């Protein structure tokens, strides 16, 4: 019964997202990692190790003189309370019943026009997919998932499950874009 209800919540979230996207206009095109100046990173956080991995990836981009902003979705609200990090965090209490994050929590992030927006979630994490989809970013990148393919400009099929592994793979491909 719980699985049925969660499925219903997710379908409702996707339906609302598709409706909102009809109103959204954005200028999208590919941008090389070399040319990007502003990078947004969406990261799912299940434990403290993932915070460290995400911050490490952000620091590697910052050493290349990129401005990086991170938004993380935390499943454990205790981790959100304990965390002293540069990652802006949202948790289960910051989303509506249909998994859509509350606008006041994500407004600054989605209204920022990043050159590249990276979703580091390698499976389906709807709150982060929603943020990416409604973002005004120019080039949106993620791991391949057929359910979220309409919302991204560039997707990579990956076997990586860790943030460190996927971010390394992602960086390799983004550096190949001219």
pLDDT tens per residue across span 9-18: 999 999 999 9
Are 163 and 136 within 8 A, CB to CB?
Answer: no
Task: CATH number of the domain at 137, please.
Answer: 3.40.50
The per-residue pLDDT for range 102-156, each reduced to its tens digit, is 989 899 999 999 999 999 999 889 999 999 999 999 999 999 999 999 999 999 9
pLDDT of amino acid 48? 84
Checking 46-52 for CB contacts under 8 A at 24+ apart, the result is 46/75, 46/76, 47/76, 47/79, 48/79, 48/83, 50/163, 51/83, 51/85, 51/87
User: What is the number of domains present in the chain?
Assistant: 1
* Structural domain containing residue 90: 2-176
The per-residue pLDDT for range 31-58, each reduced to its tens digit, is 999 999 999 999 999 988 898 999 999 9
pLDDT of amino acid 81? 55
Question: With 90 as the cut, is the pLDDT of residue 5 above it?
Answer: no
pLDDT of amino acid 1? 79
Question: With 80 as the cut, is the pLDDT of residue 78 above it?
Answer: no
pLDDT of amino acid 178? 76
Question: With 80 as the cut, is the pLDDT of residue 84 above it?
Answer: no
């Amino acid at each position: 019964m719980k699985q049925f209800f969660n499925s219903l919540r997710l379908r409702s979230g996707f339906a609302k997202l598709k409706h909102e996207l009809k109103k959204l206009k954005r200028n999208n095109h590919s941008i090389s990692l070399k040319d990007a100046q502003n990078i947004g990173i969406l990261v799912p956080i299940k434990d403290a190790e993932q915070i460290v991995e995400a911050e490490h990836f952000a620091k590697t981009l910052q050493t290349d003189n990129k401005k990086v902003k991170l938004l993380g979705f935390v499943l454990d609200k205790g981790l959100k309370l304990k965390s002293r990090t540069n990652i802006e965090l949202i948790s289960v209490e910051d989303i509506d019943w249909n998994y859509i994050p509350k606008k006041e929590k994500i407004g600054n992030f989605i209204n920022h026009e990043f050159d590249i927006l990276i979703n580091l979630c390698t499976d389906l994490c709807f709150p982060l997919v929603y943020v990416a989809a409604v973002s005004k970013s120019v080039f949106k990148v993620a791991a391949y998932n057929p359910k979220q393919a309409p919302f991204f400009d560039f997707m990579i099929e990956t076997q990586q499950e860790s943030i460190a592994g996927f971010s390394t793979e992602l960086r390799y491909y983004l550096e190949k874009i001219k």
